[in-house]
Amino acid sequence: MAHDHREHEHEHEHGHGHGHRHGHRHGHGTDIDWNEMGPLLESQAELFSPVYERAMAWLGQEVTEPGLIVDAGSGPGVVSCLFAEAFPGARVVAVDATAPLLERARARAARQGVADRFDTLAGELPGVLEELDYPADLLWAGRSLHHLGDQRAALAAFAARLAPGGTLALLEGGLPSRFLPRDIGIGRPGLQARMDALEEEWFARMRAELPGSVAETEDWPALLTSAGLKHTRTRTFLLDLPAPAGDRARAYVAAHLSRLREGVGDALDAEDRATLDRLLDPSDPASVHVRPDVFVLGAYTVHTAVRRG
């Protein structure tokens, strides 16, 4: 299945970084300057706010009045603060291994007037969750689970931090995003599909190299059930920003393609590499910085389950 570990990964996509920024959050990639990366991560997460807001509205059908919401792998806190706005009676804890990103999360909460019910917790998932003062009524893990070697064990740890009747929500899976038509008028048609294949190979290597990596069939409802949870649900949300893309969307596309150029570009053939370089060259009229057919279309899947009361 195509993991959009990409986007968020927002670089570190979390760093969810892969070539995809999957470098992020979780403390991998200690060579990354998070003070410098923070604004980019925030801007990209803001671009995806419509997806998060629709997901939260869906979650709100099941989680009506949560007292504590935990964002496991929060990055700079954009999603954490959206939870605080969507659930005004809840306290929110943003959890991440990267201190500079948590500083940004606290500053964001202050700007948005939710600091009085917003906390942060620094440390590596899933063990850091044991430091929570109270069990969570809603634990959100947005593309953080796939950065953990033993996903089944991590899910069990997540589930153990839920209050009775609490909900675990995973943002994992979805479909590869698209930014350009199949035929863009330069190079061979289908460039993004070929890059997707290379990125999947990269992702498999990244997973295999994680500490304690365990191969796992990505049947998220089954894995949630195996963690002792019940009432699994799944819903996919679209991000549909049609052409011509705005400045923020173009910046996101350029950053995403730049990461791919760095991460898997050497595996492309010479023609595809030349095409990608033209797409990234701001002085080229065929670049994503100026061409009129740039768009953002992505599908993001959320899986939920409930701890038995």
CA dist., res. 20 & res. 300, Å (int)? 16
pLDDT digits (tens, 9 = 90+) for 120-148: 999 999 999 999 999 999 999 999 999 99
Q: Is-cis flag, bond preceding 244, omega within 30?
A: yes
Q: Which two tokens mark 184?
A: 């863009």
Q: Which two tokens mark 276?
A: 């990608």
Q: Which two tokens mark 121?
A: 């917790």
Q: Which two tokens mark 260?
A: 């791919």
277 in Cβ contact with 262 (< 8 Å): no
Q: Are strands 175-178 and 296-307 parallel, antiparallel or unpaired?
A: antiparallel
CA dist., res. 297 & res. 48, Å (int)? 11
CA dist., res. 148 & res. 195, Å (int)? 24
According to the model, what pLDDT value does residue 36 have? Answer: 76
Segments in 32-180 forming alpha helices (H): 34-47, 49-59, 78-86, 99-111, 151-160
Q: What's this model's pTM, rounded to 2 decimal places?
A: 0.89
Mean local confidence (pLDDT), 192-214: 95
Domain boundaries, the chain: 34-178+214-242+296-307
The fold for domain 34-178+214-242+296-307 equals Rossmann fold (3.40.50)
DSSP tag of 289: T
pLDDT digits (tens, 9 = 90+) for 36-86: 788 888 988 999 999 999 999 999 998 989 999 999 999 999 999 999 999
Q: Which of 1-15, 103-117, 159-173, 232-246 is predicted with the least confidence, judged by mean pLDDT?
A: 1-15
**Residue 21 pLDDT grade (very low, low, confident, very high; cuts 50, 70, 90):** very low
**Residue 20 pLDDT grade (very low, low, confident, very high; cuts 50, 70, 90):** very low
